[in-house]
């Protein structure tokens, strides 16, 4: 703390003055000469000087005067001169001129006057020091500002990339419809090919292109989102690579643009399409150095990091800092060690260290990996690494460009799964078309065989040997018919009679049948959820499907096991596989058998594919189930693990309709009516002959027709016709169309549609009874009895014409 220096070497003056000041709590010190005072001033101990007139001879005065002249401009030491005489003498004036801030006090002086003067001097000196601090601080700030501006101007003027600041204006085309260049560096003209742009509006510079540039940069101004893009400046035929970001606050209406001329690169890319891969690598290496500055601009939306060989950040842009902090919980900064920051996540630390090590060793590559703290978030990133080298070509650092490709990879996976499903559907559709056609031909071949054997069996029942041979042939034909039926089921071309069915009740009623089918060594566990909704299914075909699955499970559990049949309700909130959102009844059959590997599981529903030994299976069981469920609008799902068993799930669409009551008792065939005249139509002579023989054996009179045209001619004649039996698939006109035409001639004519497979068009032959090929005579007789049992009048064509004439 500065005090008062007292210079009064003669007499008792110094002691008296010190006593007065001490009693007023003013710090003071006595000095014997000017040299001692100057030493105190240099040490910062003296804030004011009290000196007697006689203590300043010329030699002492010169020393004090020299010290005062060396002080900075702000310093003005207060000096109180104790004079002997009254008034301002020439000597006093001389001292005031040479010493500056001098106050003359006449002796004798009153103590209060002395104290007041000293305190005023000390306060004045304190204010000088405060002013000194302010001046020094201001000088430092101005110096720092000058240094900052110098660095900015050096960077702004020397950087290779073109840089400018544009400010949007309101113009004749509307608000923010033009902009003016308020600042641009020297590289602007070199890259854009346009000089002296400061102060010029874009509509004046490039009027034909202005709208496009205004739209791009206007979006940056409005949204605040930085952009990076390439665009041709048509006016100068330059291809530019640009990055733009808004200068805050938005009220400034300013956007900063950083760009470089990539015309050589664009031309090189055009040439690269005509060159081989070695040239591509060479061009990429040539262009790498020119892209460094532009690619690490902080405004880019890519994640950019630069690391030295010690894994310390040399640079990291804002997007990368934010994302790194989001997924790892730590925020990177230049100079910090990436490895140290990830000490708490050793697995992630090692993964990043390994991939960066390749780049820091000099390798340039692209790598895709999943990164992030599992407790926060994990995403997939595509990381492109490049190398920074010194003048001798040695790698000294590496940098990366990173993009989040999580959604792209998910889209690719979904596309691959959808493509696989499409290929599988196409394969199944092709197999279905093939098997459907084969089944139709087989049914046409089997129909005359079954019919002939049935007639022979009746005519030779008295001969045991003939009876045995014919029965064996019939069993073989029926097995062939069953095989064809399974093919049709797979191909989704069998005739279904769906009803609203309580699937749980249907399965519960099958318990004994399933147990007998698989044997007593495999217990059956039924798990049926109460209150299930009904499903619209064909109960007979569904029973057959469940039995097929049970038999397959039995064969997979040759050493014993357990069969679980689980029926419950499932709801899908969104589309899954081939199933639409909605309510479903899920029927699952699970076994504890050998299971299937992945390759076998993929082929499980293919027709004729089986893992059973020769002669132990047709390979059509699962194919039939797959086709049935698909035809019902559902889906078959298989899960299997080798050694752990297989689960087959039938997803059946639920319905709001009430379930009908199931009955497993076969209905009695209607009684055989009187003999009738039947018009039989089939383009296959063998099938037609066999069916005619069966009808004749029933006692009916038969009129045969080989085509729909021939049948219509019969109906238009005078012939009596009681019923029409027609094949479905015939040249020129199908059986369903024939029935419609026939009823236009003979209203309400009873008709039976015979088909090799049930692929009828929508709305065809609605309500017409159908008989599937091949058929036994008993089946044919039962359908004919039902057809003719209805109470309807036998109509002759002549009677119809007569009634029309009367009307």
Domain of 110: which CATH number?
3.40.50.2300
Task: Rank 98-107, 500-509, 797-806 by mean pLDDT and report only the highest.
Answer: 500-509
Residue 783 lies in a domain: yes
User: How confident is the model over 711-724, as a mean pLDDT?
Assistant: 91
659: how many CB neighbours lie within 10 A of its CB? Answer: 19
Q: Could you tell me if 520 and 563 are in contact, meaning their C-beta atoms sit under 8 angstroms apart? A: no
The mean pLDDT of 135-139, rounded to a whole number, is 68
Where is average pLDDT lowest: 112-116, 459-463, 673-677?
Answer: 459-463
Residues whose CB falls within 8 Å of the CB of residue 789, separated by 6 or more in sequence, listed in order:
670, 671, 673
What Å distances lie between residue 648 and 102, 516, 517, CA to CA?
Answer: 113, 20, 18
Mean of pLDDT values over 473-501: 64
Say if residue 632 is in the same domain as residue 710.
Answer: no
| pLDDT of res. 797 | 41
Same domain, 607 and 535: yes
Judge if 434 and 514 occupy the same domain: no
Looking up residue 229, the CATH number of its domain turns out to be 3.30.450.20
Over residues 563-584, mean pLDDT: 86
Query: Which range, of 90-99, 199-208, 281-290, 452-461, averages the lowest pLDDT?
Result: 281-290
Choose one of 655, 688, 715: the last residue of a domain: 655
For residue 617, name the pLDDT band (cuts at 50, 70, 90). Answer: low
- Assess if residue 270 is contained within a domain: no
Residues 683 and 768 in one domain: yes
Instruction: State the average pLDDT over residues 325-337.
Output: 91
For position 607, which CATH number holds?
3.30.565.10
H or E element in which residue 246 lies:
strand 238-247
Domain count, the chain: 6
Q: What percent of the chain has pLDDT over 70?
A: 78
**Does residue 524 share a domain with residue 442?**
no
Give a yes or no: residue 704 inside a domain.
yes
Give the range of the structural domain holding residue 457, as residue numbers without chain letter: 428-485
Q: How far apart are the first and last CA of the chain?
A: 140
The rounded distance, in Å, linking the Cα atoms of 558 and 38 is: 117
Q: Residue 799 above 60 pLDDT? A: no
In whole angstroms, give the CA distance from residue 540 to residue 798: 44
**Beta-ladder partners of 754:** 727, 771
Say how far apart CA 46 and CA 398 lie, in whole Å: 61
Q: What's the pLDDT at 762?
A: 44
For residue 758, the surrounding DSSP H or E stretch is none
Say whether both 103 and 52 belong to one domain.
Answer: yes
Residue matched to tokens 């000469």: 33
Question: HSE of 552 in the Cβ direction (CA atoms, 13 Å)?
Answer: 27
Residue 3 has pLDDT above 90, yes or no: no
| CB proximity list for 567: less than 8 A, separation 6 or greater | 503, 504, 507, 526, 527, 528, 529, 532, 585, 586, 587, 588
Most confident of 88-92, 296-300, 740-744: 740-744
| For residues 292-311, average pLDDT | 75
Query: Does some domain include residue 295?
Result: no
- Which of 465-474, 496-505, 738-747 shows the lowest mean pLDDT across its residues? 465-474
CA dihedral 296, 297, 302, 308 (to 10 degrees): 30
Q: What mean pLDDT is predicted for residues 443-450?
A: 72
DSSP code at position 75: -
Is the pLDDT higher at 599 or at 535? 535
Nearest residue to 577 (alpha-carbon basis) of 641, 647, 627, 636: 636
Residue 767 in this model has a pLDDT that exceeds 80: no
23: which DSSP letter? H
CA distance 294 to 241: 8
Which pLDDT value is given to residue 794? 39
Whether residue 185 sits in one domain with residue 321 = no
For 773, the token pair is 């090929």
**Of 639, 637, 801, residue with least CA distance to 719:** 801
Would the pTM of this model clear 0.85, i.e. be above it? no
CB atoms within 10 A of CB 6: 26
pLDDT band at 618 (very low <50, low <70, confident <90, very high): low
Q: Any bridge partners for residue 167, and if so which?
A: 180, 254
Last residue of a domain, one of 655, 685, 708: 655
Residue 634 has a pLDDT of: 86
**281 has pLDDT over 70:** no
pLDDT value at residue 806: 46
Question: Nearest-CA neighbor of 550 among 523, 528, 532?
Answer: 523
b/e map of 73-92 (b: 16 or more CB within 10 Å)?
Answer: eebebbbbbbbeeeeeeeeb
Mean pLDDT along residues 54-69: 80
User: For helices 511-518 and 539-556, what crossing angle results, to 10°?
Assistant: 30
The domain boundary residue, chosen from 118, 134, 150: 134
Q: Is residue 667 part of a domain?
A: no
Contact 491, 442 (CB under 8 A): no
515-561 per-position pLDDT tens digit = 887 888 889 899 999 988 989 888 877 887 888 788 888 888 877 88
What pLDDT was estimated at residue 302?
84
Beta-carbon count within 10 A of 288 CB? 15
Distance CA 735, CA 755 (A): 9
- Whether the CB-CB separation of 185 and 156 falls below 8 Å is answered with yes
Contact 735, 687 (CB under 8 A): no
Closest CA to 341 of 106, 349, 374, 128: 349
Which phi and psi angles does 394 have, rounded to 5°?
Answer: -85, 140
Paired tokens of 412:
């690719």
Residue 156 clears pLDDT 90, i.e. is over it:
no
Distances (CA, A) of 19 to 24, 108, 188, 778: 9, 15, 77, 149
* 788 DSSP assignment: H
Alpha-carbon gap, residue 349 to 343, rounded angstroms: 7
Does residue 136 carry a pLDDT above 70?
no
Q: Do the beta carbons of residue 359 and residue 400 sit within 8 Å?
A: yes
Whether pLDDT at 224 is above 60:
yes
How many CB atoms lie under 10 A from the CB of residue 183?
15
Residue 45 has pLDDT above 60, yes or no: yes
The number of angstroms, rounded, from the C-alpha of 46 to the middle of its chain's C-alpha atoms is 78
476 and 613 share one domain:
no
Position 600 in a domain: yes
Task: List 520's β-bridge partners, or say none.
Answer: none
Pure H helices in 193-341: 202-205, 210-223, 263-272, 277-288, 292-295, 318-328, 338-341
Say yes or no: 514 and 390 in one domain: no
State the Cα–Cα distance between residues 445 and 456, nearest whole angstrom. 17
pLDDT-based confidence at 775, cuts 50/70/90? confident
Residues 470 and 503 in one domain: no
Cα–Cα dist 31/28, whole Å: 10
562 and 593 share a domain?
A: yes
Buried b (16+ CB within 10 A) or exposed e, 773-798: bbbbbebbbbbbebbbeeeeeebebe
pLDDT at res. 356: 94
- Over residues 228-237, mean pLDDT: 92
The most confident of 216-220, 418-422, 757-761, by mean pLDDT: 216-220
pLDDT higher than 80, residue 456: no
Token pair, residue 696, equals 């004749």
Give, as one character, the DSSP assignment of residue 74: T
CB atoms within 10 A of CB 343: 10
Count of other CB atoms within 10 angstroms of residue 50: 28
Q: Kindly report the number of other CB atoms within 10 A of residue 318's CB atom.
A: 13
User: Has residue 565 been placed in a domain?
Assistant: yes
Is the pLDDT at 432 greater than 50? The verdict is yes
Integer CA distances (angstroms), 296 to 359, 537, 613, 667, in order: 17, 65, 67, 85
Q: Strands, DSSP E only, in 9-161?
A: 28-31, 46-52, 79-83, 102-106
Closest CA relative to residue 751, chosen from 731, 776, 733, 728: 728
Pick from 220-229, 726-735, 754-763: least confident? 754-763
Please name which of 535, 474, 530, 478 lies closest in space to residue 502, comparing C-alpha atoms: 535
The angle that helices 13-23 and 111-158 make with each other, rounded to 10 degrees, is: 70
State percent of the chain over pLDDT 90. Answer: 26
- Domain co-membership, 503 together with 479: no
271 within a domain of the structure (yes/no):
no
């Amino acid at each position: 703390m500065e005090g008062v220096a007292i210079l009064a070497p003669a007499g008792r003056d110094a002691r008296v003055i010190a006593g007065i000041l001490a009693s007023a709590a003013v710090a003071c010190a006595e000095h014997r000469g000017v040299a001692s005072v100057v030493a105190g001033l240099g040490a910062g101990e003296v804030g004011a000087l009290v000196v007697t007139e006689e203590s300043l001879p010329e030699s002492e005065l010169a020393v004090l005067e020299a010290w005062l002249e060396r002080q900075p401009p702000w310093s003005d030491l207060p000096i109180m001169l104790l004079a002997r005489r009254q008034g301002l003498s020439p000597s006093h004036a001389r001292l005031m001129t040479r010493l500056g801030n001098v106050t003359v006090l006449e002796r004798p002086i009153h103590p209060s006057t002395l104290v007041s003067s000293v305190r005023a001097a000390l306060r004045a000196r304190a204010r000088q020091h405060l002013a000194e601090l302010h001046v020094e601080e201001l000088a430092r700030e101005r110096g720092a500002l000058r240094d900052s501006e110098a660095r900015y101007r050096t960077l702004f003027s020397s950087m290779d990339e073109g840089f400018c600041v544009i400010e949007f204006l309101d113009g004749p085309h509307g608000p923010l419809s033009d902009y003016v260049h308020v600042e641009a560096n020297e590289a602007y003209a070199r890259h854009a090919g346009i000089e002296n742009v400061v102060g010029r509006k874009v509509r004046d510079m490039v009027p034909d292109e202005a709208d496009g540039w205004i739209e791009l940069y206007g979006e940056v101004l409005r949204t605040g989102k930085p952009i990076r893009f390439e665009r041709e400046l048509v006016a100068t035929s330059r291809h530019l690579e640009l990055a733009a970001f808004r200068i805050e606050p938005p009220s400034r209406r300013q956007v900063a643009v950083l760009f470089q001329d990539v015309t050589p690169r664009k031309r090189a890319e055009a040439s690269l399409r005509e060159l081989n891969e070695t040239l591509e690598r060479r061009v990429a290496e040539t262009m790498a150095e020119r892209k460094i500055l532009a690619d690490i601009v902080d405004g880019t939306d890519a994640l950019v990091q630069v690391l030295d060989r010690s894994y310390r950040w040399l640079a990291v842009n804002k997007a990368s800092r934010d994302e790194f902090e989001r997924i790892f919980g730590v925020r990177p900064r230049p100079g910090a060690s990436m490895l140290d920051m990830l000490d708490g996540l050793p697995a992630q630390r090692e993964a990043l260290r390994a991939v960066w090590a390749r780049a820091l060793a000099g390798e340039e590559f692209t790598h895709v990996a999943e990164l992030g703290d599992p407790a926060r978030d994990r995403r997939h990133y595509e990381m492109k690494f490049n190398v920074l080298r010194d003048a001798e070509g040695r790698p000294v650092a590496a940098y990366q460009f990173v993009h989040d490709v999580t959604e792209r990879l998910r889209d690719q996976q979904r596309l691959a799964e959808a493509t696989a499903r499409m290929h599988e559907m196409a394969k199944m559709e092709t197999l279905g078309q093939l098997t459907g056609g084969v089944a139709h031909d087989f049914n046409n071949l089997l129909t005359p065989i079954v019919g002939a054997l049935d007639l022979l069996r009746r005519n030779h029942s008295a001969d045991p040997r003939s009876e045995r041979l014919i029965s064996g042939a019939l069993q073989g034909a029926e097995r062939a018919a069953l095989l064809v039926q399974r093919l049709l089921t797979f191909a989704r071309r069998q005739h279904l009679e769906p009803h609203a069915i309580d699937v749980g009740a249907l399965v519960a009623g099958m318990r004994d049948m399933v147990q007998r089918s698989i044997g007593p060594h495999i217990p059956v566990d039924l798990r049926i959820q109460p209150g299930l909704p009904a499903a619209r299914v064909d109960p007979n075909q569904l029973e057959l499907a469940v039995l097929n699955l049970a038999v397959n499970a039995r064969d997979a559990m040759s050493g014993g096991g357990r069969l679980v049949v689980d029926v419950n309700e499932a709801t899908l909130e969104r589309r899954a596989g081939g199933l639409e959102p909605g309510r479903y009844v899920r029927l699952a059959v699970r076994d504890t058998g050998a299971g299937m590997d992945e390759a076998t599981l993929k082929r499980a529903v293919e027709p004729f594919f089986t893992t059973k030994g020769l002669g132990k299976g047709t390979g059509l069981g699962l194919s039939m189930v797959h086709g049935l469920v698909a035809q019902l609008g559902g889906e078959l799902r298989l899960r299997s693990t080798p050694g752990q068993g297989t689960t087959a799930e039938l997803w059946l669409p639920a319905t709001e309709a009430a379930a009908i009551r199931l009955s497993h008792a076969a209905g009695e065939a209607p009684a055989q009516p009187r003999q009738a005249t039947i018009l039989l139509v089939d383009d296959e002579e063998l099938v037609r002959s066999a069916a005619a023989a069966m009808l004749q054996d029933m006692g009916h009179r038969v009129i045969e027709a080989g085509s729909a045209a021939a049948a219509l001619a019969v109906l238009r004649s005078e012939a009596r016709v009681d019923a029409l039996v027609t094949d479905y698939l015939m040249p020129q006109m199908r059986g369903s169309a024939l029935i419609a035409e026939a009823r236009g001639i003979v209203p309400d004519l009873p008709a039976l549609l015979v088909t090799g497979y049930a692929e009828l068009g929508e709305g065809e032959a609605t309500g017409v009874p159908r008989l599937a090929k091949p058929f036994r005579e008993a089946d044919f007789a039962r359908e004919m009895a039902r057809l003719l049992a209805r109470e309807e009048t036998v109509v002759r064509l002549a009677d119809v014409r007569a009634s029309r004439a009367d009307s």
